Amino acid sequence: MKWKMKAILFLFFCLNWAFLAVVAVGPPICSADLGGECSDAASDDWKGEFFPDIKKIKYEGPSSKNPLSYKWYNANEEILGKKMKDWLRFSVAFWHTFRGTGADPFGAPTKYWPWEDGTNSLAMAKRRMRANFEFINKLGVERWCFHDRDIAPDGKTLAEANANLDEVVALAKELQGTKIHPLWGTAQLFMHPRYMHGAATSSEVGVYAYAAAQVKKAMEVTHYLGGENYVFWGGREGYQSLLNTDMKRELDHLARFFQAAVDWKKKIGFNGTLLIEPKPQEPTKHQYDWDAATATSFLQKYGLTEEFKLNIECNHATLSGHSCFHELETARINGLLGNIDANTGDPQVGWDTDQFMTDIGEATLVMLSVVRNGGLAPGGFNFDAKLRRESTDVEDLFISHISGIDTMARGLRNAAKLIEYGSLDELVRKRYQSFDSEIGALIEAGKADFETLEKNAMEWGEPAVASGKQELAEMIFQSAL
């Protein structure tokens, strides 16, 4: 036998053993995503708390060593004239927190939450929803985000899927109480094989119609739950090859789809903001919403800028070759900054790793943009972030969110310091002060023609060019961290 074959057989043998060991020793029950193979006795019969060992998370200040406490996020403390909780408007992403299994393209699920029975039944969906609200209440945030298909099982028909969704949403409404509601809802239009060519950009009219029906319903339930926004993320709104793609037609269809969503929003009286979440190549080679600038020009071309804003995700920003700060500022100066999916990528791993943000410098830049924007409301910060595959304790769900929340809170505190110091703003102001002149004013008012400018250039001779002071700017920035 050739060595390669031997190695393959050995690996197969080991994998089998690993599988048997799991079955014999037995993980607590089943992973969250085994499609109902583990148990058929799913019922919404969970007794007591889902997180009995975890108390409500409190602010204990920066010197606390308690991992289950906030060190920087003090919800009601005022910063720059607003409560921290009103600047930050945090939200828990249901899909990562309650449907994340730890599986990756090379490895099986690793998370076996005690409340999961391995099914995707309605009863399990309801039990999970109750875990979700205990989690949110203990964390002390007031918002959550969801896809239709992560909170309720799909159905054999659209009508059955809608009925499932209605049943889970009714429970969610009850569990939300008066304080909690969705930051945003969305339809999951990328997982099912019917969406392999896209949803609103599919070459199949039947798929376009199906996607429209799914979005219509998802908008209705978002509205019913008191959602503040509705998101579109084009999971497969792009193409792999231009040879078999009519790009112009697909973009036109997408715009018609968005217009129909605007019309439906108005018809049902939903006042939330519609958001587009840019993301580059992943999963298709060319995505139509590559980055903030691409999405902005799409909205401008089709006359949709009054109706839509952007949901900037930091990991998507870096995948598109920009920084999160760049994407936020691009959205902001175009009047389109609506919401943030607060996560981060890994500098060495080249895909959407959806990690919780822990870089204080990055968080400070993010918050600088948010403060310049006057906040994000009705948008906020959705933790589109998941535990690493190797983090498998229930308490890790809390620790990761606490860490993400504290990082953003620290960013806010630092941004406030920078604004109060004023020296960075002053540096930037000074850099452009030559435009605070008579001719500068004419240029900025669009009244300086080339002849006038040529006359000035002749008169002035060689222009003086001052230092850009980048290192000083960096020094000032660092001093606030």
Show the site string, 75-104: x = touches ligand XUL by CB under 6 A, - = not.
Answer: ------------------------------
401 forms part of the interface with ligand XUL (CB under 6 A)? no
Near Co ion by CB under 5 A: residue from 291, 341, 362, 406 = 341
The answer to whether 277 contacts ligand XUL (rule: CB under 6 A) is yes
Token pair in block for residue 113: 């939450």
Element of type H or E holding 295: helix 292-301
Nearer to ligand XUL, 142 or 384 (CB): 384
Q: Is 219 helix (H, G, I), strand (E, B) or coil?
A: helix
CB contact at 8 A, 155 and 163: yes
Q: Are 251 and 238 in contact (CB under 8 A)?
A: no
Burial of 422 (0-12, 13-18, 19+ CB in 10 A): exposed
CA pair distance 405, 399, nearest whole angstrom: 10
Angle, CA of 357, 63 and 392, to the nearest 5°: 45
Q: Which is nearer to Co ion, 96 or 138 (CB)?
A: 96
**Partner whose footprint covers residue 398, from Co ion, ligand XUL, none (CB < 5 to 8 Å by kind):** none
Based on the shown chain and the rule CB under 5 A, indicate whether residue 291 belongs to the binding site for Co ion.
Answer: no
Task: Decide whether 115 or 146 has the Cβ nearer to Co ion.
Answer: 146
Residue 274's DSSP bridge partners are 230, 308
How many amino acids of this chain bind ligand XUL (CB under 6 A)?
Answer: 10
419-438: which residues touch ligand XUL (CB under 6 A)? none
327 binds ligand XUL (CB under 6 A): no
Task: Kindly state whether residue 318 participates in binding ligand XUL, applying the rule CB under 6 A.
Answer: no
| Residue 352 interacts with which of Co ion, ligand XUL, none, CB < 5 to 8 Å by class | ligand XUL
Q: What number of other Cβ atoms are within 10 A of residue 49's Cβ?
A: 12
| Residue of the chain from 148, 291, 327, 384 that contacts ligand XUL (CB under 6 A) | 384
- Using CB under 6 A as the binding rule, whether residue 289 contacts ligand XUL is answered as no
Query: What phi and psi, each to the nearest 5 degrees, are found at residue 49?
Result: -80, 155
Q: How far is the CB of 266 from ligand XUL (least distance, A)?
A: 23
Q: How far apart are CA 432 and CA 440, in angstroms?
A: 10
Binding piece for Co ion, criterion CB under 5 A, among 57-65, 149-157, 335-343, 391-399: 335-343
Does 117 interact with Co ion (rule: CB under 5 A)?
no
Tokens of 184: 């945003």
Contact indicator for 359, 344 with CB cutoff of 8 Å: yes
Helical ranges in 140-246 per DSSP H:
148-151, 158-176, 205-224
322 carries an active-site annotation: no
354 binds Co ion (CB under 5 A): no
Site for ligand XUL in 137-176 (CB under 6 A): 147
Pattern of binders to Co ion over 382-401, x per CB under 5 A?
--x-----------------
d(CA 101, CA 244): 36
User: How many degrees, rounded to 5, is the angle at CA 396 between CA 392 and CA 402?
Assistant: 160
Minimum CB–partner distance for residue 146 and ligand XUL (Å): 9
Contact status: 327 vs Co ion (CB under 5 A) = no
List all residues 6 or more positions away from 292 whose beta carbon is below 8 Å from its beta carbon. Answer: 278, 310, 312, 317, 322, 327, 328, 330, 331, 334, 336
Looking at the Cβ atoms of 39 and 353, the one nearer to ligand XUL is 353
Kindly tell me which residue out of 117, 150, 313, 327 binds Co ion, with binding defined by CB under 5 A. 313
Q: Identify residues 348-367 at the interface with ligand XUL (CB under 6 A).
A: 352
Q: Does the protein bind ligand XUL through residue 233 (CB under 6 A)?
A: yes
Site for ligand XUL, rule CB under 6 A: 147, 186, 231, 233, 277, 279, 313, 341, 352, 384
Site for Co ion, rule CB under 5 A: 313, 341, 384
Residues with catalytic roles:
147
